[in-house]
């Protein structure tokens, strides 16, 4: 009975390790892609250095998971108690870290929400047109979410992008003059490249938004989009946690039963 239980646990642990391997490869590929593709939407919510640091941590976690998967397979197939113990300890550390990170996200949710909002406004007012990566991000957000500006097209009035546009008939100043003209990016257009788009991009302060331009702001849409993915992220995290706990139990069984089997053979 002990041998049957051990064999079942051994091959089940191999299967769990293969799941870890798939997760590790996915995380490594995702982190590598996000490091090379600066237009990834979530980066708008982070300062450049912090964003890159977070991605390197994610990449490190993926590599660590890959090593864990290797240890699990070797420990189960080669009856290596040392590999199984290391596998158990590392998985336990990963679970504790995940729970701690989830608690941190829960307690700092409002702060992250505020950071996201301020980052979008800062990109619109100061970085668009000057910082290439943020320009690409904002264009992707406006086109993808069908929005314009942080709270609306009027946010582009007084921005660096609008004030230095040489095609404007007058230079924009901070005033309530309804004749002041500013320009919104092409990504604010419903149909990019059309005559209506080119005409609608030239707007007046306190004027009516042309039908060819998205009238809704991006901040709330972006927040709603990210929050809408929370459910899927939670389900995925819970499933991964279940697999990790299962791996702990199987590693413990293999370690104990394997040691017992060795004593019986002796």
Q: 10 Å Cβ neighbour count for 165?
A: 18
Structural domain includes residue 206 = yes
Structural domain includes residue 181 = yes
Structural domain includes residue 66 = yes
36 shares a domain with 168: no
Structure tokens, 7:
């064999």
Residue length of the chain: 266
139 shares a domain with 54: no
76 shares a domain with 156: no
Structural domain includes residue 124 = no
User: pLDDT tens digits for 190-203?
Assistant: 988 888 888 888 88
Domain range holding 57? Answer: 2-111+234-265
Q: Above 50 in pLDDT, residue 239?
A: yes
Structural domain includes residue 127 = no
Q: Taking Cα atoms as reference points, which of 43, 54, 69 lies closest to residue 101?
A: 54
238 shares a domain with 216: no
* Non-local CB neighbours of 73 within 8 Å, separated by 6+ positions: 14, 17, 18
Q: Above 60 in pLDDT, residue 115?
A: yes
Structure tokens, 128:
């668009």
Structure tokens, 102:
């989830």
Q: What is the pTM of this model?
A: 0.61
Task: Categorise residue 146: left if φ over 0, alpha if ψ from -120 to 50, beta otherwise.
Answer: left
Q: How far lies 220's CA from each of 7, 125, 226, in Å?
A: 54, 17, 10
- Per DSSP, the residues of 47-87 read -HHHHHHHHHHHHHHHHHHHHHHHHHHHHHHTT-HHHHHHH
- What is the end-to-end Cα distance of the chain in Å, rounded? 19
User: Distance between CA 156 and CA 202 in Å, rounded?
Assistant: 11
Element (H, E) at 200: helix 195-200
50 shares a domain with 147: no
213 shares a domain with 169: yes
User: pLDDT tens digits for 14-56?
Assistant: 888 888 889 889 888 887 877 776 545 445 444 555 556 666 7
Rg (CA), the chain: 26
105 shares a domain with 9: yes
User: pLDDT tens digits for 201-234?
Assistant: 888 877 777 888 898 988 888 888 877 777 787 8
Structural domain includes residue 173 = yes
Structural domain includes residue 123 = no
98 shares a domain with 142: no
250 shares a domain with 215: no
User: Distance between CA 31 and CA 61 in Å, rounded?
Assistant: 10
Q: What are φ and ψ of residue 181, in 5° steps?
A: -115, 140
Structure tokens, 137:
């991000």
101 shares a domain with 24: yes
User: Distance between CA 201 and CA 195 in Å, rounded?
Assistant: 10
User: Distance between CA 43 and CA 135 in Å, rounded?
Assistant: 12
107 shares a domain with 10: yes
Number of domains in the chain: 2
Q: Above 60 in pLDDT, residue 166?
A: no
Q: Are 129 and 161 in contact (CB under 8 A)?
A: yes
Structural domain includes residue 147 = yes
70 shares a domain with 21: yes
Q: At 189, is the pLDDT very low, low, confident or very high (cuts 50, 70, 90)?
A: very high
């Amino acid at each position: 009975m002990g041998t049957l239980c051990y064999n079942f646990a051994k091959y089940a642990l191999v299967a769990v390790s293969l799941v870890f391997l798939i997760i590790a490869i996915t995380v490594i590929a995702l982190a590598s892609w996000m490091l090379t593709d600066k237009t990834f939407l979530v980066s708008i919510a982070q300062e450049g250095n912090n964003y890159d640091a977070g991605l390197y941590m994610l990449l490190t976690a993926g590599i660590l998971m890959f090593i864990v998967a290797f240890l699990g397979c070797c420990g189960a197939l080669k009856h290596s108690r040392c590999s199984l113990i290391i596998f158990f300890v590392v998985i336990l550390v990963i679970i504790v870290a995940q729970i701690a990170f989830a608690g941190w996200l829960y307690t700092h949710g409002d702060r992250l929400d505020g950071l996201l909002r301020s980052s979008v406004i800062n990109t619109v007012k100061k970085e668009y047109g000057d910082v290439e990566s943020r320009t690409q991000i904002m264009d992707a957000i406006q086109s993808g979410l069908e929005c314009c500006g942080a709270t609306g097209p009027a946010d582009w009035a007084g921005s660096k992008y609008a004030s230095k546009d040489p095609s404007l008939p007058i230079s924009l100043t901070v005033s309530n003059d309804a004749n002041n003209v500013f320009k919104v990016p092409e990504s604010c257009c419903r149909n990019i490249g059309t005559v209506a788009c080119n005409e609608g991009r030239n707007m007046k302060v306190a004027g009516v938004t042309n039908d060819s331009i998205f009238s809704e702001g991006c901040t709330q849409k972006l927040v709603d989009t990210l929050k809408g993915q929370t459910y899927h992220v939670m389900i995925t995290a819970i499933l991964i946690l279940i697999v990790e706990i299962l791996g702990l139990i199987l590693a413990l069984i293999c370690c104990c039963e394997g040691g017992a089997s060795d004593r019986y053979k002796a």
